[in-house]
């Protein structure tokens, strides 16, 4: 079993829960490698309608059936800090011209929050990736390291002090220096062992949300890079849809994509559903981000808190300028639903409310089709 250790993200101030007060985030470079090959569980082998696949599997072009759900989990879907993620992937219908769409749920939600809109996205041939973020849905297991005395029957956690630890070696964990008796003889030796523990959002601290932004997004992007390089989608047409906490993650992804120098510029559209203003304001300072990514905001207008927050976010995206266009084709559409409901329930609304199930795929297609061919040209990604 591979051994993981938790590493704190550096330079990212990211509070996602509504009780958090941070208003800005820092850019962090994506860093993820495609994990080792996954072995399907017996339960998945007996489910003919779902196919388990690893990012390392070598599939021929067109070997997937477009729109057919594939369960992604197992050893290949463990984040760098040991969290076992689970996701569903719907391959696109247009090979390397397929538009990839990543759907990011809100706090206490799951991938099931997007069940209403996924069929509309796959009808248009888009490649859809929808995960359960850490601590949610089926992503509630984490592999941790405990240390055990080589001669003891029960594990004991590492205790720093007295110079007891040597620096981390290539295996990624700290080695305990053997303690010695006054006579110089070795008294004990601590050895690392791995253990799977339950890991749920109800127990999260600030660091867990930081790790979600750092490691969950990195693993999702690693999978998209693999699919792109196997010519099953075009990462230069990437689109994100996020609900509340997921909307904050989408903006962080956008800021990383367009905010660093030189910008990656793969992300083209972002749909923010019921975003929380104090989680994302301050991220739109970069001109490249504001002009390079097409944003759409969706909110239940009968909640004054969410409505005012959405207007504030939109003003930042527009750089304080007025938008004379109206509706879905404006520079930054603000879609208002006549309800106090927020998040995934908005996908279920019909007339006289906007039909988001059809509107979001239309927005994605419209904005990507308007771009210059050079901006959306498929390229093999080398990282």
What distance in Å separates the CA atoms of residue 296 and residue 331, rounded to the nearest whole number?
Answer: 9
Q: Provide DSSP, 274-312.
A: S--HHHHTTS---HHHHHHSEEEEEEETT-HHHHHHHHH
Distance of CA 102 to the CA centre of its chain: 8
Q: Provide DSSP, 309-323.
A: HHHHHHHHHTTT---
pLDDT-derived band at 28, boundaries 50, 70, 90: very low
296-to-102, 273, 275, 331 alpha-carbon distances in Å? 15, 8, 11, 9
In whole numbers, what is the pLDDT of the chain averaged over residues? 78
Kindly state the tokens that stand for 131: 């995960």
Q: Answer whether residue 372 shows pLDDT above 90.
A: no
Helix, strand, coil percent content, the chain, rounded in steps of 5: 30, 20, 50
What distance in Å separates the CA atoms of residue 44 and residue 317, rounded to the nearest whole number?
Answer: 43
Say what the pLDDT of residue 6 is: 38
What distance in Å separates the CA atoms of residue 350 and residue 319, rounded to the nearest whole number?
Answer: 32
Kind and range of the H or E element at 368?
helix 356-369
Kindly state the tokens that stand for 117: 């809109």
Q: Answer whether residue 174 shows pLDDT above 60.
A: no
CA torsion through residues 127, 229, 252, 35, sign: positive
Q: Let me know: does 229 contact 381? Beta carbons within 8 Å.
A: yes
Alpha helices in 148-216 (DSSP H): 206-211
247 three-state secondary structure: helix
Q: Kindly give the interhelix angle for 245-259 and 217-229, rounded to the nearest 10 degrees.
A: 60
Say what the pLDDT of residue 192 is: 84
Q: Answer whether residue 381 shows pLDDT above 70.
A: yes
- What backbone phi and psi angles, to 5 degrees, belong to 304? -60, -35
Global pTM reads 0.77
Q: Answer whether residue 263 shows pLDDT above 50.
A: yes
72-to-2, 85, 162 alpha-carbon distances in Å? 19, 8, 44
Reported as a single tens digit per residue, the pLDDT across 215-235 is 999 999 999 999 999 999 999
Say what the pLDDT of residue 186 is: 53
What distance in Å separates the CA atoms of residue 143 and residue 197, rounded to the nearest whole number?
Answer: 6
Ordered by start, the domain boundaries in the chain are: 42-140+200-369, 141-198
Better-scored residue on pLDDT, 52 or 234: 234
Name every residue whose Cβ is closer than 8 Å to that of residue 93 and which is 6 or more positions away in sequence: 66, 67, 122, 125
Kind and range of the H or E element at 256?
helix 245-259
Q: Answer whether residue 355 shows pLDDT above 80.
A: yes
The stretch 127-140 carries a mean pLDDT of: 97
Q: How many residues does the chain have?
A: 383
Distance of CA 87 to the CA centre of its chain: 10
The stretch 186-200 carries a mean pLDDT of: 82
Q: Answer whether residue 67 shows pLDDT above 50.
A: yes
Fold of 42-140+200-369: Rossmann fold (3.40.50)
């Amino acid at each position: 079993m591979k051994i993981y250790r938790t590493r704190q993200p550096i330079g990212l101030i990211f509070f996602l829960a509504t009780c958090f007060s941070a208003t800005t985030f820092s850019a962090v470079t994506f860093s993820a490698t495609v994990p080792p090959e996954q072995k399907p569980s017996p339960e998945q082998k007996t489910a003919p309608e779902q196919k388990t696949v690893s990012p390392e599997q070598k599939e021929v072009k067109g070997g997937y059936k477009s729109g057919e759900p594939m369960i992604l989990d197992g050893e290949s879907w463990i984040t760098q800090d040991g969290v076992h993620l689970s996701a569903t992937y719907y391959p696109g219908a247009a090979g390397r011209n397929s538009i990839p769409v990543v759907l990011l749920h809100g706090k206490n939600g799951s991938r099931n929050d997007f069940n209403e809109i996924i069929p509309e996205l796959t009808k248009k041939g888009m490649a859809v990736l929808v995960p359960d973020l850490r601590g949610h849905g089926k992503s509630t297991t984490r592999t941790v390291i405990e240390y055990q005395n080589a001669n003891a029957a029960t594990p004991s956690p590492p205790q720093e002090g007295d110079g007891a630890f040597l620096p981390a070696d290539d295996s990624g964990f700290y080695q305990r220096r053997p303690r010695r008796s006054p006579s110089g003889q070795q008294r004990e030796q601590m050895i690392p062992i791995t253990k799977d523990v339950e890991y749920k959002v109800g127990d999260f601290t600030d660091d867990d949300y930081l790790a979600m932004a750092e490691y969950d997004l990195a693993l999702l992007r690693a999978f998209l890079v693999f699919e792109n390089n196997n010519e099953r989608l075009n990462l230069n047409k990437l689109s994100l849809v996020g609900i509340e906490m997921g909307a904050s993650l989408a903006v962080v992804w956008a800021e990383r994509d367009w905010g660093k120098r030189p910008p990656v510029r793969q992300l083209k559209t972002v749909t923010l559903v019921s975003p929380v203003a104090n989680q994302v304001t301050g991220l739109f300072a970069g001109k490249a981000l504001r002009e390079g990514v097409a944003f759409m905001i969706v909110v239940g207008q009968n909640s004054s808190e969410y409505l005012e927050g959405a207007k504030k976010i939109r003003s930042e995206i527009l750089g304080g300028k007025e938008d004379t266009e109206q509706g879905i084709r404006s520079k930054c559409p603000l879609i208002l639903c006549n309800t106090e409901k927020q998040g995934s329930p908005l996908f279920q609304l019909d007339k006289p409310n906007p039909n988001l199930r059809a509107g979001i795929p239309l927005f994605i297609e419209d904005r990507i089709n308007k771009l210059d061919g050079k901006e959306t040209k498929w390229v093999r990604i080398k990282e």
